[in-house]
């Protein structure tokens, strides 16, 4: 293919690396060297992920964590536009400001659906395995070019502004990747089978309702631990659903899987382990309590979890 | 024994240690208990960190969103809704929520997102609607509106996407059953996802309606009460 996912990672890496140069010379940041180093290393991990051997990448990640752990990651000054400046600019551009912002979703959807089978010669233009991510990367780049042209800004302005946003997110930007790592380690250590054994020991296996109950609650709980319903599904389904629900009660696999996965999603809504959905947005939106998004989601998640148990039980009768 | 890692995570989150540190320690400890060498564990860290780089893709949106914010995008979004009389915080988030879930149900999961839609557009609009009604917002109310904007994005996409046949979750389930020699059908799985998707739609729309009510109760008695207040049903 012509544009592979690696190109998108290179774009991400460049954003972080370029921003880190400003951080190194940011006199207002009390820890500018370690903060700069954090974003530089993060950028390098994105930029050269496919080249650096895993062991050295692991060391690089540990250095980043050490910087955060030792309090070496601090905010600096970002030369933000004042509210007056922003309002003055806004009056000049008005509704046109929405154009680049809306270009992102429009071009992403267009790219992901319209470019699916487009080839030049033998080569796909967009990497077919990662088409949405590649389309998003290309869309943001086009939107950026349009935005720079509309506002008559130098690219350096965009670099500085992305540094402002990235540093506002701070360590939370790295958390999703670290949690995925933890999930892998949990898996190889066999945490999953221990949990499903525990659950299957405490439930009365002769009662359809309680088995359904245990499967749905188990999906939600295990998803909360792993931060990912996809990790919970094979473990809980192999541990509870296949031997008991399908084997013993003869339940149809299709509705069981569909609703079981949703029970897992209810767990995703309630856990800080699903950092990319729950913690990164809290950082992006500058919320005081990083668990505020989770707090808002819990009532809906619990109600839907109950609905799922009832639905799965009724459909299984 | 391997559950110690889970315990570390839970305790770490409860005593509010830095999550990045908690997760790293939990990973190291779990690996050591499972009798892996330090070299292997560090290698796993590096490997998984690299394969999960796709989670960082939101960074691609930061340059253009940051640039537009500098030129007043958020103020413009607030301004637009303040001119629409019928716009309330709950209704704006509800509209976004319904679009998000419906789009995901037909496979367009990339139409929303926290970095590209919620921060620059949805949250400022939801805040702008409340400001137009009640004047300047206290910080806790502002945070609550923002958190609700982010929650609507998550709930919408989660319960919408499984209705679409070719989504990752359905393919994963199909793959799992194939491996275990159990017959399954992606189309039926997508159909069985519809009842929960509808339930989520109804439940969350009611909650957003209640959000408007609670904002009204909390702020409506203030000095900035405009005349339209009586029109609330």
Contact in structure between A253 and B184 (CB atoms under 8 Å): yes
Residues of chain A with C-beta less than 8 angstroms from the C-beta of B58: 276, 280
The predicted pLDDT at position B229 comes to 43
Burial status of residue B187 (CB atoms within 10 A of its CB: 0-12, 13-18, 19 or more): exposed
- Per-residue pLDDT, averaged over A239-243, amounts to 87
Do B69 and B169 sit in the same domain of this protein? Answer: yes
How is residue A317 written in tokens? 């009768």
CB contact burial A131-146 (16+ within 10 A = b; e otherwise): bbbbbbbbbbbbbbeb
How is residue B204 written in tokens? 């969350």
Domain holding A146, by residue range, is 84-154
Do A179 and A311 sit in the same domain of this protein? Answer: yes
Pairing state of beta strands A123-124 and A119-120? antiparallel
Which of A158, A277, A221, A257 is closest to B67 using CA atoms?
A158
pLDDT category, A119, cuts 50, 70, 90?
A: confident
Count of all residues that appear for chain B in the document: 233
Do A65 and A91 sit in the same domain of this protein? Answer: no
Cα nearest neighbour of B104 on chain A: A109
B57 touches chain A (CB under 8 A): yes
Element (H, E) at B30: helix B19-33
> Does A168 fall in a domain?
no
- Per-residue pLDDT, averaged over A112-140, amounts to 81
Do A279 and A146 sit in the same domain of this protein? Answer: no
Please report, in angstroms and rounded to a whole number, the separation of the first and last CA atoms in chain A. Answer: 50
Compare A131 and B197 and report the one with higher pLDDT: B197
Highest mean pLDDT out of A172-176, A185-189, A209-213: A209-213
Chains A and B form CB pairs within 8 A to the count of: 403
Residues of chain B with C-beta less than 8 angstroms from the C-beta of A251: none
Extract the runs of DSSP E, i.e. beta strands, from B26-69: none
Of B20, B117, B150, the CB nearest to A293: B150
The predicted pLDDT at position A1 comes to 61
DSSP H helix total and E strand total for chain B: 11, 0
pLDDT in tens, B22-81: 989 999 998 898 888 999 999 988 998 898 888 888 899 999 999 998 888 888 888 888
pLDDT exceeds cutoff 90 at A202: no
Do A214 and A186 sit in the same domain of this protein? Answer: yes
Q: Name the domain count of chain B.
A: 2
The predicted pLDDT at position A116 comes to 74
Nearest 5°: the CA angle B202, B154, A315 is 50
Do B9 and B78 sit in the same domain of this protein? Answer: no
Do A308 and A184 sit in the same domain of this protein? Answer: yes
Backbone angles phi, psi at B83, to 5 degrees: -85, -15
Do A30 and A90 sit in the same domain of this protein? Answer: no
Of A5, A189, A268, the CB nearest to B31: A189
- Per-residue pLDDT, averaged over A216-229, amounts to 89
- The ipTM is 0.86
Residues of chain A with C-beta less than 8 angstroms from the C-beta of B208: none
Task: In whole angstroms, give the CA distance from residue A221 to residue A199.
Answer: 10
CA-to-CA dists, residue A215 to A90, A160, A202, A274, angstroms: 53, 49, 12, 20
Do A125 and A29 sit in the same domain of this protein? Answer: no
Instruction: Tell me if A178 and B36 make a contact (CB, 8 A cut-off).
Output: no
User: Average pLDDT over chain A, rounded to whole?
Assistant: 89
Do B144 and B225 sit in the same domain of this protein? Answer: yes
Which of A221, A90, A231, A168 is closest to B48 using CA atoms?
A231
The predicted pLDDT at position B221 comes to 65
Which of B206, B111, B100 is closest to B158 using CA atoms?
B100
Angstroms from A25 CA to nearest CA on chain B: 20
The set of residues, in sequence order, having a beta carbon less than 8 Å from that of A27 and lying 6+ positions away, is none
Q: Give the DSSP per-residue string, chain A.
A: --B-HHHHHHHHHHHHHHHHHHHHT-TT-TTHHHHHHHHHHHHHHHHSTTTS-HHHHHHHHHHHHHHHHTT--------PPPHHHHHHHHHHHGGGGHHHHHHHHHHHHHHHHHTTT-EETTEESB-GGGHHHHHHHHHHHHHHHHHHHHHT--HHHHHHHHHHHHHHHGGGGTHHHHHHHHHHHHHHHTHHHHHHHHHHHHS-TT-HHHHHHHHHHHHHHHHHHHS-HHHHHHHHIIIIIIIIIIIIT---HHHHHHHHHHHHHHHHTT-TTSHHHHHHHHHHTT-SSTTHHHHHHHHHHHHHHHHHHHHHHHHH-
> Does A109 fall in a domain?
yes
The predicted pLDDT at position A273 comes to 86
Residues of chain B with C-beta less than 8 angstroms from the C-beta of A195: 3
Instruction: Tell me if B177 and A253 make a contact (CB, 8 A cut-off).
Output: yes
Over pLDDT 70: what percentage of chain A? 100
Burial status of residue B15 (CB atoms within 10 A of its CB: 0-12, 13-18, 19 or more): exposed
Highest mean pLDDT out of A186-190, A217-221, B108-112: A217-221
pLDDT category, A306, cuts 50, 70, 90?
A: very high
How is residue B231 annotated by DSSP? Answer: G
> Does A165 fall in a domain?
no
Residues of chain B with C-beta less than 8 angstroms from the C-beta of A93: 71-72, 76
The predicted pLDDT at position B222 comes to 56
Do A57 and A182 sit in the same domain of this protein? Answer: no
Residues of chain B with C-beta less than 8 angstroms from the C-beta of A105: 110-113, 116-117
Of B23, B50, B73, the CB nearest to A179: B23
Count of all residues that appear for chain A in the document: 317
Compare B100 and A92 and report the one with higher pLDDT: B100
Cα B147 versus chain centre, distance: 9
pLDDT exceeds cutoff 50 at A133: yes
Task: In whole angstroms, give the CA distance from residue B55 to residue A174.
Answer: 9
Do A210 and A114 sit in the same domain of this protein? Answer: no
Do A189 and A134 sit in the same domain of this protein? Answer: no
pLDDT category, A94, cuts 50, 70, 90?
A: confident
Compare B189 and A116 and report the one with higher pLDDT: B189
- Per-residue pLDDT, averaged over A113-130, amounts to 77
Contact in structure between A241 and A201 (CB atoms under 8 Å): no
Assessment of whether the complete model's pTM goes beyond 0.90: no
Over pLDDT 90: what percentage of chain A? 50
Do B44 and B136 sit in the same domain of this protein? Answer: no
List the 107-146 stretch of B: residues with Cβ below 8 A of A.
108-121, 123, 139, 143-144, 146
Do A230 and A108 sit in the same domain of this protein? Answer: no
Residues in chain B, pLDDT under 70: 166, 221-233
Task: In whole angstroms, give the CA distance from residue A52 to residue A63.
Answer: 15
The predicted pLDDT at position B170 comes to 86
Do B77 and B40 sit in the same domain of this protein? Answer: no
- Per-residue pLDDT, averaged over A291-312, amounts to 96
B181 touches chain A (CB under 8 A): no
Domain holding B45, by residue range, is 4-51
Q: Name the domain count of chain A.
A: 3
């Amino acid at each position: 293919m012509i544009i592979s996912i690696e190109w998108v990672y290179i774009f991400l890496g460049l954003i972080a690396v370029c921003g880190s140069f400003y951080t190194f010379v940011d006199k207002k940041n009390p820890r500018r060297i370690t903060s700069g180093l954090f974003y530089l290393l993060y950028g390098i991990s994105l930029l050269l992920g496919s080249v650096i051997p895993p062991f050295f990448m692991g060391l690089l990640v540990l250095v980043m964590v050490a910087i955060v752990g030792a309090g070496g990651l601090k905010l600096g000054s970002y030369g933000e536009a004042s509210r007056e400046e922003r309002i003055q600019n806004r009056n000049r551009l008005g509704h046109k400001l929405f154009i680049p912002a809306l270009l992102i979703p429009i071009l992403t959807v267009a790219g992901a659906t319209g470019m699916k089978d487009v080839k030049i010669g033998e080569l796909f233009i967009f990497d077919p395995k990662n088409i949405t991510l590649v389309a998003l990367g290309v869309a943001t780049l086009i939107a950026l070019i349009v935005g720079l042209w509309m506002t008559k800004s130098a690219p350096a302005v965009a670099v500085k502004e992305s540094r402002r946003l990235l540093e506002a997110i701070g360590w939370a930007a790295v958390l999703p990747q670290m949690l995925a790592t933890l999930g892998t380690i949990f898996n190889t250590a066999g945490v999953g089978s221990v949990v499903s054994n525990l659950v299957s020991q405490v439930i009365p296996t002769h009662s359809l309702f309680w088995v359904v109950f245990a499967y749905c609650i188990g999906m939600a709980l295990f998803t909360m631990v792993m931060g990912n319903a996809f990790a919970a599904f094979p473990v809980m389904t192999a541990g509870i659903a296949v031997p008991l629900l399908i084997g013993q009660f003869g339940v149809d696999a299709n509705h069981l899987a569909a609703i079981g996965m949703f029970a897992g999603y209810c767990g995703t809504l309630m856990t800080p382990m699903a950092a990319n959905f729950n913690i990164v947005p809290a950082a992006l939106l500058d919320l005081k309590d990083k668990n505020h998004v989770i707090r808002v989601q819990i009532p809906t998640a619990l109600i839907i979890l109950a609905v799922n148990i009832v639905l799965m039980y009724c459909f299984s009768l | 024994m391997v559950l110690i890692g889970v315990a570390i995570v839970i305790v770490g989150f409860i005593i509010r240690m830095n999550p990045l540190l908690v997760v790293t320690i939990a990973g190291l400890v779990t690996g050591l208990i499972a009798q892996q060498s330090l070299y292997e564990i560090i290698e796993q860290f590096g490997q998984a960190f690299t394969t999960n780089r796709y989670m960082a893709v939101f960074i691609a949106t930061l340059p253009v969103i940051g640039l537009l914010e500098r030129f007043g995008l958020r103020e413009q979004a607030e301004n637009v809704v303040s001119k629409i009389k019928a716009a309330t915080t709950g209704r704006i988030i509800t509209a976004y929520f319904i679009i998000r879930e419906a789009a995901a149900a037909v496979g367009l999961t990339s139409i929303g997102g926290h970095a590209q839609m919620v921060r620059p557009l949805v949250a400022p609009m939801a805040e702008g609607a409340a400001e137009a009604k009640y004047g300047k917002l206290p910080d806790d109310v502002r945070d609550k509106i923002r958190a609700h904007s982010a929650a609507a994005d998550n709930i919408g996409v989660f319960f919408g996407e499984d209705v679409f046949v070719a989504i990752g979750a359905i393919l994963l389930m199909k793959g799992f059953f194939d491996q275990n020699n159990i017959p399954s059908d992606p189309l039926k799985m997508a159909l069985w996802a519809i009842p929960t998707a509808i339930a989520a739609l109804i439940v969350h729309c009611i909650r957003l309606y209640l959000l408007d009510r609670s904002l009204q109760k909390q702020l409506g008695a203030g000095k900035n009460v405009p005349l339209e207040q009586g029109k609330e049903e």
